[in-house]
Chain A
Amino acid sequence: MNKRDFIAIGIVIILSALGFIFLNFNLKNDAQGGETVKISVGADIYGTYPLNENDEIKINTKNGFNTVVIENGSVFVKDADCRDRYCVRQGKIRNGSIICLPHRLVIEIESNDKSIDAVAG
């Protein structure tokens, strides 16, 4: 190997190291981004909302409507026209999910804690 090779190897190693640092830095930033509320209807994601910002979202599905409220770090369904209104009666949640089966609506709190793979309950 000649001198040019060594320089080239050096550059490759430095670039790799920079890439590694950049990737890790980005991952860290993601984790600090705060919890979010993911709403989906059937197989489609309807929207993602920060849990720490109060909001009221009216969702019109083809089967009916649900009004979702984000308030002081909790989520609840304020109103809905499904038959059993089970989503409304679930009340406020801070973790896990609310599911409205008749409307195929799923409201999930995506935890900061990326270590959780599933919730049994």
Chain B
Amino acid sequence: MKKVLALTFIMIIFLSGCSFGSYSYSDSFFAMDTYMSVTANGANAQSAVKKAKKQVLRLENLLSAHKEKSEVYRLNKNGSEKLSNDTIKVIKNALKFSRLTNGAFNPAMLPVTKLWGFPDKKYRVPKKSEIENALKLAKPEKISVNKNEVTLNLKGEEIDLGAIAKGYTSSKIIEIFKREGIESGIVNLGGNVQTLGAKPDGSLWTVAIENPDKNSEYLGKLKIKDKAVVTSGGYERNFTKNGKMYHHILNPENGYPAENGLSSVTVISEDGTLSDALSTSLFVMGKNGAERFYKKSEKDFDIILYTEGGKLTVSQGIADSFNSQLDFDIVKKD
């Protein structure tokens, strides 16, 4: 009879095996002007997610250009500030991507985005002369970093790290997960998705790419692990004035919303910061510019481009992991 009891016990363990082996913990909350979900799988999941959330709120209080008392807010106000390691790192990254993209990524556009009313949501179409004047301040090359001190060398120059902060944050969360011994997790910071490892059952994560026309099917589904997926598009934030739509991704060359036929750009890489920064930059570059940049770049990333005409282009590195009901072209490295 003892053997039978032992066997019964083993059977019970077999049947409930999945709930013993994989413990999962999630939390959703509002931060950085968006809605976030953080999920970790593993014994330490709860503590890892709690630490992740704390980190998000800490970074928001450092990096937001619109929160009074944040480090970036103080820097913009005073022109020169001693900053914490994280802020310095994000600023250095922003300047690096600005050089790498030949100015398509520009962290110093805040004086211009303010004219359009994007930060405070009091939208208006500025006069051309206003834009031209504000553009004179949008010079990332006039920002200097000396150890832990950053100086904005033009009077009235202001930075906004919004196009890179969420990517940096998701990478930081993945670091926390790893430190906590988590091997599987997924983070969605308002559409910035980053995954750690594979799913608990060993299969790949499925990340759908939003269709700018939200009343239709997703653009497609990606099967990934250990990757950050970030999509940028004019559909995310915009306003309409006199029948014309104006969106929030401004072209640093002229200070107007980037209009070049692209509807959305998705960048897939192992680095959340890179995916975030490049998705915005490639959107500004337009389809031809984005493809050219991808072909020539030494950085390891993949792209999904969707044009206003409904044309879908995917880079070779992810073509086999991408599934779509739409036909798509494949772009290859030079």
Which residues on A are within 8 Å of B, measured CB to CB?
1, 4-5, 8-9, 12-13, 16, 19-20, 42-43, 74, 83-84, 86, 90-97, 99, 101, 104, 106, 115-121
Contact = CB atoms under 8 A, between A and B. Distances in A.
A113 B19 CA distance: 22
A120 B15 contact: no
Contacts of B30: 42, 101, 104
Given A5-B3, A16-B15, A99-B35, 8 more contacts: A4-B1, A96-B210, A104-B30, A116-B206, A117-B205, A119-B188, A120-B191, A121-B191
A12 B73 CA distance: 66
Interface string B224-241: 000001110100110000
Nearest to B237: A86
Per CB-CB distance, the 8 closest pairs between chain A and chain B, nearest first, are: A121-B210, A93-B214, A120-B229, A8-B4, A84-B121, A118-B193, A120-B193, A118-B188
B199 interface: yes
A20 B11 CA distance: 11
A74 B215 contact: yes
B11 A95 contact: no
A21 B244 CA distance: 58
A56 B249 CA distance: 34
Contacts of B28: 43, 106
Nearest to B264: A121
Which of B1, B37, B211, B218 is packed against the most chain A CB atoms within 10 Å? B218
Contacts of A16: 11, 14-15
Interface of B: 1, 3-4, 7-8, 11, 14-15, 28-30, 33-35, 37, 121, 186, 188, 191-193, 195, 199, 205-211, 214-218, 221, 229-231, 233, 236-237, 264, 266
Contact of A12 (B7, B34, B229): B7
A117 B35 contact: no
B215 A118 contact: no
Contacts of A1: 3
Contact of A106 (B35, B192, B231): B35
A107 to B, nearest CB: 11
A42 B35 CA distance: 10
A99 B191 CA distance: 12
Given A16-B15, A43-B28, A95-B218, A121 B209 contact: yes
Contacts of B264: 121
A90 B214 CA distance: 8
A12 B208 contact: no
A42 B121 CA distance: 22
B317 to A, nearest CB: 16
B29 to A, nearest CB: 7
Contacts of A95: 208, 210-211, 214, 217-218
B214 A96 contact: yes
Contacts of B193: 118-120
B188 to A, nearest CB: 5
Contacts of B229: 120
Nearest to B219: A121
Contacts of B29: 43
Which of B8, B192, B233, B266 is packed against the most chain A CB atoms within 10 Å? B8
